[in-house]
A and B are shown apart, each in its own frame.
Chain A
C-alpha cells in the first residue's frame, strides 16, 4: 500500500525528452492506468516508478519518502512485463519464489506463498516445468504469480496482456481486476488498449508526447474528453469528426457544416463564432431515425456492417464519412437516405487548431 506522487518528473535521453514535467498523485490502493500510443512516455514513467530508470528532473514520492535514486530492490514494488521476463533457466516454482528468496524469506513461508499463488492461478501442476514448456497464457500467470507472492506496496504492469489472444485477454483482464480487489494495494498499469483501460482503471491517465493529456475516471475521460486526442484515443469505432463553424446566438448556438446544421447545447460553449471547430459524434450517440428536432444528422447509407450484437452504418454526410451504431434489428440498405437524432448534451466540440475542448467542464 502506498500513495505515489510525481512532482515535475522528467526523463531525457540526450536531446530526446521522453517524459516532460509530469505531475500525478496516485492514491493508496488505487488502480491507475497509464494510457497512450507508443512512444508517449507511459512505460518510461512506469520504469521510473519502479526505479529502473533514473529521473532527469523532478521528485518521486512513495508515501512520505522521497525515492529518487533508490534502486528497485530497495523499493517495495513488483512488476509484470509485456514479455513476462520469466527466467528461462529456472522452473515455474523457482521463478515465482525468486523474489522471496532474494529477500531471505524462510523456506516454510516461501513455500506456503508459492503454493497458494500457484493454486490461485491454476499453476499447481506446472511448478516443475520450465517457462519454455508453457503456453503464453500459462507464462502470463507465472509472471502474475511472481509479482503476487511478493505482496508488494506497489504493483506495476507494463502491457501484460499484449501477447495474449483476444479471448484470453478478456479473461485475464477480469483476473487482474479481481487480484486488485483481493490484494488491496496500489496498481499502476500501462497499456495502449483503451478497452483494458476503461475496464480496469479507477482513474485513467491519458498521455501524449511525454505529457499528461487528461486524468480522470473512465467515465470522465470517455464522456468529457478535454481534447480531440483523448476523444479519438477512447472508443471503438472511434469518434466521428465534422469540420465546421459555430453560428447563431449564445443562447441557441448551431454547428454548420455545408448545408448541415446541428443544434448545440446552450450555455455550455466557451465561445461562439470565430475559428473553425470540429464536432465530435460518438457512433453510439445517435437515436432512432426520423425524430424531428434541431440536432439531426442526415446522410446516405454507404455501408452496412453487422457485428453480431449491433450493426454499424457508414454514412456519407456532406462528403464526410460518419459511422453510427444502430440496433441489429434495423433494416437499412445501401443508398438509403437516413436521419438520426443526436443528443445535444453528448456532442463534443473542439477547437480545430489546438484540439482543445470548447465545452465547459461538466463535472
Chain B
C-alpha cells in the first residue's frame, strides 16, 4: 500500500503582496488627493500663474491676495463695467456675486448647525425607542424610515418644492433646514439604532430599576456611551448639509438664503471666470468639514461601524 505523499503548500513571497497593496494605495491616494492638492496650491497663485504652462504644482509666487479679495469683496460693487478694476492679484476678475460669499458662508453654517442639532433632537430618541423599547411595529417603523431613502433626491425635488412653497418658506433658510432633515434623519436614525443595539439591554433595565425614567435612561446612560455614533451622526448631517447643492439651487433665490455651494457655483457663470478667486473660495468651503473630520477622526470609524457589522 502506498503512503500518500503530503505536498508542502507553495509559499508565496509576502513582499509581492505588500508591494501590490502599497502601489494600489498610492494610486488611490493620488486619485483622491490630487484635485484637492491642486485646489489648495492654486488658491495661493495669481490668475496668471494658474493658467501658465506647464502648471505650477507649487506656487512660485505665493499670494494671499485671493483670500483678501474674498473678505473685502463686500466693500466693492462689481458690475460689467467695473469687473476689471478690482484686485489685480487675482487676475483682475472679481465675480459679481463675490460679495455674497461671506454671507453664504454664514448661511451654510447656520443651516448645517441647525440640521445637526435637529438631527440629534429627533434621531436620538427615535433610535433609542427603536433599539430598546419593545413595541408593536418596531421593526416596521425602522424599515419605513429607511425606505424613504430609497427614493433619489431628484425625485423629491418637486414634492419638496410644492411643500415649501405652500408653507411660504421659499428663499428662506428654513426651506433648506426642513428638506435636509428629511434627507438626513433616516440615515442618522439607522446609524444610532445600530449603535444603541450594540449596547447591552441590561444597562437599560439597570438604569430604570435605579430610578431613571426612559428619558433619564437615555440622557444619563446611553448618551455618554453612544458618543462615537453621535459624533458620526453630527459629522454626517453637517457634511450632507454643507455640501448639498440641488435642493439649495431650487429653494433659494437671493443671497439672503443662498448657501456656499450655490454662490461658488455662480462664479463659473459670471461675466468672466476667475480661477484664482474660485479656488480660494473652494479652500474656504472645505475648511470647516476638514477641521471637524480631524477633530473627531477617532470617533468616525467606530461610530459608523459598531453594531452595523454583526458576526
Contacts and interface: CB of A to CB of B under 8 A. Distances in A.
Interface of A: 47, 50-52, 71-73, 77-79, 81-83, 85-89, 98-99, 102-103, 146, 150, 156
A218 to B, nearest CB: 28
Contacts of A77: 209
Contact of A102 (B205, B212, B225): B212
Given A73-B212, A87-B203, A88-B225, 12 more contacts: A47-B205, A51-B208, A51-B209, A73-B209, A79-B206, A79-B209, A81-B205, A82-B202, A85-B200, A98-B210, A99-B211, A146-B206
Contacts of B183: none
B203 A102 contact: no
A50 B225 contact: no
B216 interface: yes
A81 B206 contact: yes
Contacts of A88: 225
A113 B200 CA distance: 28
Contacts of A52: 205, 208-209
B205 A85 contact: yes
A308 B125 CA distance: 58
Given A81-B202, A83-B202, A102-B216, A89 B209 contact: no
B213 A73 contact: yes
Contacts of B207: 87, 98
Contact of B206 (A51, A85, A89, A103): A85
Chain A CB count within 10 A is highest, among B200, B206, B208, B221, for B206
Contacts of A82: 202
B229 to A, nearest CB: 14
Nearest to B201: A85
A73 B225 contact: no
Contacts of B202: 81-83, 85
Nearest to A80: B206
Contacts of B16: none
B54 interface: no
A72 B225 contact: no
B208 A83 contact: no
Interface in B202-250: 202-203, 205-213, 216, 221, 224-225
Contacts of B209: 50-52, 72-73, 77-79, 99, 156
A78 to B, nearest CB: 6
A103 B216 CA distance: 12
B220 to A, nearest CB: 8
Nearest to B211: A102
A50 B200 CA distance: 18
A196 B248 CA distance: 66
A52 B212 CA distance: 12
B227 to A, nearest CB: 9
Contacts of A83: 200, 202
A46 to B, nearest CB: 10
Nearest to B217: A73
B95 to A, nearest CB: 50
Nearest to A82: B202
